[in-house]
Amino acid sequence: MRVVCAGDEFISARLLADAVVAELDRVGLAAEPLPIDSRWPSEPFEEVDGVREAAGDPGRLAELVAGADALVTHLAPVTKEVITAGRGSLRVVGVTRGGPVNVDLSAATDAGVPVVYLPGRNLGAVAEFTVGTMICAMRGLPAAAAELAGGRWDGTGFRYQRVGLELRAATVGLIGLGAVGLRVAELLAAFGAQVLAHDPFADPAAAARVGARLVELPDLFAASDVVSLHARLTEQTRRIIDAAALAAMRPGALLVNTARGELVDSAALDAALAEGRLRGAVLDVFDPEPPGPDDPLPRRPEVFATPHLAGASRQVAEESAARIAREVATVLTGGVPTHQANPHPNPVANTG
């Protein structure tokens, strides 16, 4: 089995290859890995030939894919050129991401190639990041650390008017109660926080299991000390946090966004912070990414801004490689994968 392993500096080709070799060996298949790495994140990803958030040379990738049985990758550009190069041999594309935006799904479907992926692959990392940064921002730690690093000892952080809440005294509203939202709710419950959630598609039993009370959006805004975003980006959720939503939030609330930058109207958030209506914001995602040099939000002292790091952990890299190897092996042995992004009712078995 010739398997192209297109990695990067986070999930390397070597990591993918080791996982693929071990998994195919487990099901009785011999793997011949064909490794290639991009320099992401040292070099940014971009839109490439109609696919998004991709890094690497599609021409070089197409050369490797020709004659290959499978392609596994994190964010290599799986363009129409790459899919076309694999016609007649390529049986599956595996993507170690929650959404395969770096794959031309139309081209893959036309070629009869299933695209498997990993929803919720980084839920643990994102949930821990969300709660950790939430605590830091509520207590004013990023600004205090910046002051001290600049040589200024600011002891006024002990003034009652400046101190923040502990989580056990806070009401946290989650917008989106999918895999990440549910894990965040579990962690918050352990701290003793009251958790509200808004998600039209939420499973009431799952919400009850993690101690989250489902409410309408206006009620969430009015009652929450912290509003944390975990919704998928759709036309319905785009800029769900606009000027009206910010005005409806409890005065002094904290906004946390580790989901998508497009969920927030950046100009409206900047205005709300400038007017002092919010205590602050945690922003790990932006619109666009990276934010432009004239974007005021990352420079605000009340904003804890990070460069899209919520899902970065060693566990995410290692476990994603192992999981996608299992999905690819399932398809190659005629099974039905757990998560497939395009319709392909008859996976091609290959046991040779």
Instruction: Please write the tens of the pLDDT for every residue from 28-57.
Output: 999 999 999 999 999 999 999 999 999 999
Q: Is residue 60 part of a domain?
A: yes
137 and 82 together in one domain: no
Scanning the chain, the segments in alpha helix (DSSP H) are 13-26, 58-65, 80-85, 105-110, 123-138, 141-149, 179-191, 204-209, 217-223, 243-248, 266-274, 314-332
85 and 115 together in one domain: yes
Q: Is residue 268 part of a domain?
A: yes
User: What whole-number distance in Å separates Cα of residue 67 and Cα of residue 268?
Assistant: 52
10 and 83 together in one domain: yes
Q: Is the pLDDT of residue 161 over 90?
A: no
Q: Is residue 59 part of a domain?
A: yes
Q: Is residue 80 part of a domain?
A: yes
Across the range 322-350, mean pLDDT stands at 84
pLDDT score recorded for residue 157: 87
Q: How many residues does the chain have?
A: 352
216 and 319 together in one domain: no
**How many folded domains does the chain comprise?**
2
Q: Is residue 348 part of a domain?
A: no
pLDDT score recorded for residue 343: 85
Q: Is the pLDDT of residue 327 over 50?
A: yes
44 and 75 together in one domain: yes
pLDDT score recorded for residue 135: 98
Q: Is residue 138 part of a domain?
A: yes
To 5 degrees, how large is the angle CA 247–CA 249–CA 252? 105
155 and 284 together in one domain: yes
Q: Is residue 346 part of a domain?
A: no
Active site residues: 260, 289, 308
User: What whole-number distance in Å separates Cα of residue 134 and Cα of residue 230?
Assistant: 14
31 and 104 together in one domain: yes
Q: Is the dihedral of CA 183, 184, 187, 190 positive or negative?
A: negative
pTM here is 0.88
| Closest among 105, 41, 110, 35 to 71, alpha carbons compared | 35
86 and 32 together in one domain: yes
27 and 107 together in one domain: yes
Q: Is residue 152 part of a domain?
A: yes
Buried b (16+ CB within 10 A) or exposed e, 320-351: bbbbbbbbbbbbbeeeebebbbbebeebeebe
Of the pLDDT bands very low, low, confident and very high (cuts 50, 70, 90), residue 344 is: low
In the block, residue with structure tokens 């109609």: 50
CATH number at residue 139: 3.40.50.720
Q: Is the pLDDT of residue 328 over 80?
A: yes
pLDDT digits (tens, 9 = 90+) for 254-299: 999 999 999 999 999 999 999 999 999 999 999 998 899 999 999 9
143 and 271 together in one domain: yes
User: What whole-number distance in Å separates Cα of residue 51 and Cα of residue 32?
Assistant: 27
140 and 66 together in one domain: no
Q: Which domain holds residue 154?
A: 123-305
SS3 96: coil
HSE-CB for 204 with a 13 A CA cutoff: 1
103 and 167 together in one domain: no
pLDDT score recorded for residue 238: 97
